[in-house]
Amino acid sequence: MDGAASSGAERHWRALESLYASAPVNSKFESSLEVTGEGTAQITFEVTEASYHAAGAAHGTIYFKMLDDAAFYAANTLVTDRFLLTTSFNLHFTKPVREGKVVAEGRWVSGKRRVFVAESRLVDAEGDEIGRGTGTFMKSRIPLSSLEGYTG
C-alpha cells in the first residue's frame, strides 16, 4: 500500500475505533477496540462479577457482544463508506471465564462487495480460547460519515 492509501486506511481505522468508543452500549461493557490492520480488529475487556450469570461465570451476552463486535469491525475495515449490519452470527462457547482480561480477535474471511464474512475468537488471560464465532455482515444504507462517532 502506498503512503497516501496507507494514511487513508489509517484514518478510517482510527475513525472506526472512535465509532466503537462512542456507542452507548459500551458504557455497560467497558472495553476498547484496536483496528490492527486491514481485515483485523481486537477488543480488550475485563470480565468482572458484573457480567456473571447465577452460577458465577461470565454470561453469554458478553461473549456474543465481544465476538460480534470484533468480527464486525474487522469486516468494516474493508468498507469505508457504509456501516455494516450483522445479519447472522454463530457462537460456540469453549470454556467458562470468571474474571480477568479477555481479548476478542476478529478477522475478515471473505466478501468485498455487499456481504462479508468474518470470524472471531475470545482468548483469556492464560491464552486459552474461551469462545469462537462467525458472522455474516452486509452493507447498510447508513453512511459512516453520517454517524457522530465516526471521526476520521
- pLDDT of 1 > 60? The answer is no
User: How far does Cα 143 stand from its chain's mean position?
Assistant: 19
Where are the domains positioned within the chain? 3-146
Determine the 3-state secondary structure of 13 from DSSP: helix
Residue 50: pLDDT band (50, 70, 90) is: very high
Arithmetic mean of pLDDT, 131-142: 98
- pLDDT of 143 > 60? The answer is yes
CA distance 92 to 17: 26
Arithmetic mean of pLDDT, 43-71: 95
Over the chain, what is the mean pLDDT?
94
Residues 36 and 25 sit within 8 Å (Cβ to Cβ) = no
Residue 6: pLDDT band (50, 70, 90) is: low
3-146: in CATH 3.40.50.920: no
What percentage of the chain has pLDDT greater than the value 70? 95
Q: What is the DSSP letter of 86?
A: E
Residue 131: pLDDT band (50, 70, 90) is: very high
Arithmetic mean of pLDDT, 86-113: 96
- Whole-structure pTM value: 0.94
- pLDDT of 76 > 60? The answer is yes
CA distance 1 to 3: 7
Residue 7: pLDDT band (50, 70, 90) is: confident
Q: Which residue has the cell 470480565?
A: 47
Arithmetic mean of pLDDT, 73-91: 97
Strands (DSSP E) along 3-114, which ranges? 31-37, 40-47, 82-93, 100-110
What percentage of the chain has pLDDT greater than the value 90? 90
Query: Hey, what long-range contacts does 61-64 have (CB within 8 A, 24 or more apart)?
Result: 62/29, 63/91, 63/93, 63/122, 63/130, 63/131, 63/133, 64/89, 64/91, 64/133
Alpha helices, DSSP H only, in 30-93?
60-76
Residues 51 and 58 sit within 8 Å (Cβ to Cβ) = yes
Determine the 3-state secondary structure of 62 from DSSP: helix
